[in-house]
């Protein structure tokens, strides 16, 4: 197996479960040392650390709430201190709070924006101060930025659409320094929060070109590709991985 990310140093926010944990595993499998943040479950974080270490990588779990800007910056600084620098940032942490617009609370709106938008900017700003030529930043957006096929997701879709504009703008800031920034926009992915065998999933499947939910590894593979040497000419892009939902 060719390890395309050998000795690279990465931080994945929200990396203890689901898509985030799959990204940690894939980056480690491809040779990177990986730190990741988690909000609460030490047991889940410990499992992810062990999974990274099984590939011979260093795995570091950092407890941090992405709604807290200081905690986000602290996670970046600890990653740099413990791993000796940072080459890869994956802004994966996110929340999906759904509800009709007439009942959606300002508190839920503020938390959605704090985690899905502000934390991405804060982590990117902090990481960019340490990155050099070849740095890679990837945000986990959502296909909802392009298409929201059900009611109640307005604030969530708005937060993910904001990332589309963010990477276009920051690509201009970071490009002259040889750093790329992109979004990966998952469609329906089989996770604990959105299982492929649920009644909710049946509605999605009727809208998709491929008759299946995606896997967390489908997303992790795209993230690893963007972090690697073959993706050096991709920046400012939002790459949808949705089984044809938006086709």
pLDDT above 80 (res 234): yes
Fold of 9-240: Rossmann fold (3.40.50)
CA dist., res. 129 & res. 120, Å (int): 14
Does the pLDDT of residue 1 top 70, yes or no?
no
Is residue 54 scored above 80 in pLDDT?
yes
Q: What is the pTM of this model?
A: 0.96
Q: How many CB atoms lie within 10 A of CB 75?
A: 26
The string of pLDDT tens digits covering residues 70-120 is 999 999 999 999 999 999 999 999 999 999 999 999 999 999 999 999 999
Per-residue pLDDT tens over the stretch 197-232: 888 888 888 899 999 999 999 999 999 999 999 999
Alpha-carbon distance of 23 to 52, in angstroms, equals 10
pLDDT-derived band of residue 60, with 50, 70 and 90 as boundaries?
very high
Residue 77's alpha-carbon distances to 38, 81, 118, 208, in angstroms, are 16, 6, 17, 41
Nearest by Cα to 26 from 3, 44, 60: 3
* Local confidence band at 239 (pLDDT 50, 70, 90 cut-offs): very high
Catalytic option among 38, 156, 213, 225: 156
Instruction: Judge whether 156 counts as a catalytic residue.
Output: yes
Residues 6+ apart with CB under 8 A from 111: 67, 95, 97
Q: Which residue is it, tokens 């926009």?
A: 185
Residue 71 CA, chain-centre distance (Å), reads 17
In Å, what is the CA distance from 125 to each residue of 23, 76, 173, 222? 21, 10, 11, 23
Exposed (0-12), middle (13-18) or buried (19+): which is 168, by Cβ within 10 Å? middle
**Domain locations in the chain?**
9-240
Query: How buried is 43 (Cβ within 10 angstroms: 0-12 exposed, 13-18 middle, 19+ buried)?
Result: exposed
Of 121-125, 168-172, 188-192, minimum mean pLDDT range: 188-192
Q: Are 214 and 241 in contact (CB under 8 A)?
A: yes
Q: Which burial class, exposed, middle or buried, applies to 50 when counting CB atoms under 10 A from its CB (0-12, 13-18, 19+)?
A: exposed
| Chain centre to alpha carbon of residue 178 | 21
**Hey, is 80 helix, strand or coil?**
helix
């Amino acid at each position: 197996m060719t390890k395309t990310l050998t000795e690279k140093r990465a931080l994945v926010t929200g990396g203890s479960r689901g898509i985030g944990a799959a990204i940690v595993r894939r980056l480690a499998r491809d040779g990177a040392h990986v730190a990741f943040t988690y909000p609460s479950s030490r047991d889940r974080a410990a499992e992810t650390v062990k999974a990274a270490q099984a590939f011979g990588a260093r795995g570091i779990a950092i407890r941090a709430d992405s709604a807290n800007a200081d905690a986000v910056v602290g996670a970046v600084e600890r990653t740099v201190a413990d791993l000796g620098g940072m080459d890869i940032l994956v802004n994966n942490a996110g929340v999906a709070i759904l509800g009709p617009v007439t009942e959606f609370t300002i508190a839920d709106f503020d938390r959605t924006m704090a985690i899905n938008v502000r934390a991405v900017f804060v982590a990117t700003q902090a990481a960019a101060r340490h990155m050099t030529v070849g740095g890679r930043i990837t945000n986990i957006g959502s296909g909802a930025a392009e298409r929201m096929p059900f009611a109640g997701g307005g604030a969530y879709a708005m937060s993910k659409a904001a990332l589309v504009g963010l990477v276009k703008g920051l690509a201009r800031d970071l490009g002259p320094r040889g750093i790329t920034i992109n979004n990966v926009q998952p469609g329906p992915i089989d996770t604990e929060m959105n299982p492929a065998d649920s009644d909710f999933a049946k509605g999605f499947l009727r809208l998709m070109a491929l008759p299946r939910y995606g896997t967390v590894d489908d997303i992790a593979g795209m993230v690893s590709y963007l972090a690697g040497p073959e993706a050096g000419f991709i920046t400012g892009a939002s790459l949808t991985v949705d089984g044809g939902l938006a086709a």
